Structure 1
Amino acid sequence: MKYRKTALIEAEQYIGSPAQVIEYNIVEIPPIIGTDKPYEYFIPTLEGPMELHAGDWIATGVNGEHWPIADDVFKKTYAKLPVIPYNVAAFIKLCKGSNIDLRDVLYFENNGFDYVKEDEARIGDWIADHQDKVARAWLDGYEVEK
């Protein structure tokens, strides 16, 4: 059987900034004098300290825990949430709360929501032009345009 991850995470790429060192309690271990060994960086995790390299991603889980993910693994495993307009996000939220099917959303059947009438053309046109993004937002979540 195959499985997909269902929990959302927040992540940022580690660049070694002093702010990141403080925010994530990163421990810097200097090299032994007289060796070519570089600084080593460790981040505290639920499993104990884990090594962190510049370019790795620091993930924050649903309970606020952190862990490092190598850049290549991160890019194969995670994708950004779709960014959608506020009115489309409100429509999705309203439809989900009213047990409207995704099929009806993708074909933009407003199902008698009065507030949608005012903005119907813009919502319907945007959904028609971005059906993959709407389906992904429906299934995985989304961010609202700023």
Structure 2
Amino acid sequence: MKFYHKQPIEAEQFDGSQTSLFGYEVIPESLLDALTGEPAYYSILIDDVESEPDDFPDDNEVSFEIGDWIVNEADEIKVMADEEFKQQYAELPVIPGNVAYIIKQAKKGDYKLGWVFNATYLGIWRVSVGNWIRTHADTFARAWLDGYVVEEEHD
């Protein structure tokens, strides 16, 4: 599972090979692409516990095409085009554990991002941490502001 900025969500980009998404079966639509002969649109049927009286009968179907993102957010499944998804959600940056420790300790001490950058350039951190922060300044700032995922250690 990948984690995205904004709020925790599950998302998967549909590439045409998936037979299920979030436990729902992917159903090819009958409309065929004129050039390839492959289905151009797909759908999944969402089972609602109770239908509202004013719902349309097809409210339980989610249609999408190859390249779209299927997002499971707060018990709602929706479809987003690739560009729209990238604008709304950015994958959280992956940072080394020793850099994550600096963020955690600095925030615990109520230090500000500017102070951490200044301390980096003054050489307060271990050389490896300072070098990482300097060479990945944008990623570090995003991690500080948006959250992060700690890089898995390799054996």
TM-score tier (shorter): 0.5 to 0.7
The Cα shift of 1:22 comes to 5.4
**How large is the Cα RMSD of the aligned pairs?**
3.2
Partner of 1:90: 101
TM-score after normalising by structure 1: 0.68
Unaligned runs of 5+ in 1: 110-116
The Cα shift of 1:135 comes to 0.9
Residue 110 of structure 2 corresponds to residue 104 of structure 1: no
Partner of 2:53: none
Number of equivalenced pairs: 129
The Cα shift of 1:87 comes to 0.7
- Structure scoring higher RCO (CA < 8 A, sep ≥ 6) equals 2
Partner of 2:89: 78
* AA at the equivalent of 1:25: Y
Change (3 A) 1:129 1:39: closer
Partner of 1:126: 132
Partner of 2:13: 13
Give the Cα–Cα distance (whole angstroms) in 2 for the partners of residues 54 and 10 of structure 1. 18
The Cα shift of 1:21 comes to 0.8
Partner of 1:138: 144
Q: Which structure has the highest helix share of the two?
A: 1
Identity %: 39
The Cα shift of 1:12 comes to 2.0
Unaligned runs of 5+ in 2: 32-36, 49-58
Partner of 1:42: 43
Is the partner of 2:126 in helix, strand or coil?
Answer: helix
The Cα shift of 1:45 comes to 8.9
2:68 aligned to 56, 71, 84, which one?
56
* AA at the equivalent of 2:137: Q
Change (3 A) 1:93 1:65: farther
TM-score after normalising by structure 2: 0.65
Give the Cα–Cα distance (whole angstroms) in 2 for the partners of residues 97 and 64 of structure 1. 33
